Amino acid sequence: MKKIFLLIFLSIYFSNSSYNGLLFPKNTFELLTNNSNYSFYQDIILSTQKNDLASTSYLNYPNSISANYISYDYYISNLSMKSSIQIIDYGNIEDSSSGYSFDSMDYIFTQRFSSRLYNKIFSSLEMNYLYSKIDNFNSSVFATKLDFFYNTDEMIIEIFIDNYGKVLNSYTRYIEDLPKLYGYSLLFKPKNLNVLLSLKQECQNNVYNFNFNTELLLKNNSIIFGYSSMGKNLYYGDFNDDFFTGTSIGFKTQYKKFQIILGYQNLGPLGNSSSFSLNHLIN
């Protein structure tokens, strides 16, 4: 019963849709910034683009909910591409009254294409196929994310729409809407300062969420501090507010062709989430 209560909380945290897996962070940078393009934009603004990059991540949520992620970034001609697979394991759920237990998992296959449209204007299209399984029931979804961004060398400005698509196969005869959202983000590097400032605001079902992050750039390391207003949506009833809800911290280090990123986020009454990512530059 405790885990069912937690899943209800997560549905409030992410959305009211059964397809919350589309909104789960895929790696440590996304956990900290709520921006799936953060590392991509970071490489552009710091001129550290990587031709062939293999990545894997493990994210841990309260009550044994976890996610595994693997991706590969590569270029074909002037087209930047990224292929990835994410598996979200919600664990074994047991009804304390009947003793009946079942498991729930999401499998998400993603392909992203990014290219220059004109001068300093770029576009990115992400296609997601989600296969969701709850006990003996399953559902599948095709969803897309489209974003446009402008690179001024010191700043990247992005606008996006996310999770627009179609439910291919529903759990029941009732077909739910996808958790659609839209918004904008900024990534800025001040002159003569080894720091990156990022801001993101998104809207879903007339609810606005705000993220702000600061990354201190050191020689082969960096430290990331962040805040997300999403955590405040977790509070209702008799829960006491926690000043640190929504805050996050991360650490990145690089050795030769390997990069390790650790992240932690405070989820208030739920507890906390953490992430470990390992990147390897192949070429």
Write the pLDDT tens digit of every residue in 27-75: 999 999 999 999 889 988 988 877 789 999 999 988 788 999 999 999 9
Q: How far apart are CA 196 and CA 135, in angstroms?
A: 44
Global confidence as pTM: 0.87
Q: How far apart are CA 271 and CA 61, in angstroms?
A: 8
pLDDT at position 101, please?
81
**Per-residue pLDDT band at 267 (split at 50, 70, 90):** confident
Q: Is the pLDDT of residue 171 over 80?
A: no
> How many C-beta atoms lie closer than 10 Å to residue 168's C-beta?
12
Sign of the CA dihedral with 14 first, then 20, 23, and 28 last: positive
Residue 220, CA distances (Å) to 33, 40, 167, 208, 216 in order: 20, 18, 44, 35, 11
Q: Are 54 and 71 in contact (CB under 8 A)?
A: yes
Q: How far apart are CA 258 and CA 261, in angstroms?
A: 10
Q: Is the pLDDT of residue 13 over 50?
A: no
pLDDT at position 243, please?
67
Closest CA to 35 of 240, 189, 181, 190: 181
Strand, coil or helix: what is 81?
Answer: strand
Q: Is the pLDDT of residue 169 over 80?
A: yes
State the average pLDDT for the chain: 86
Q: Which amino acid is at 111?
A: Q
**Per-residue pLDDT band at 242 (split at 50, 70, 90):** low
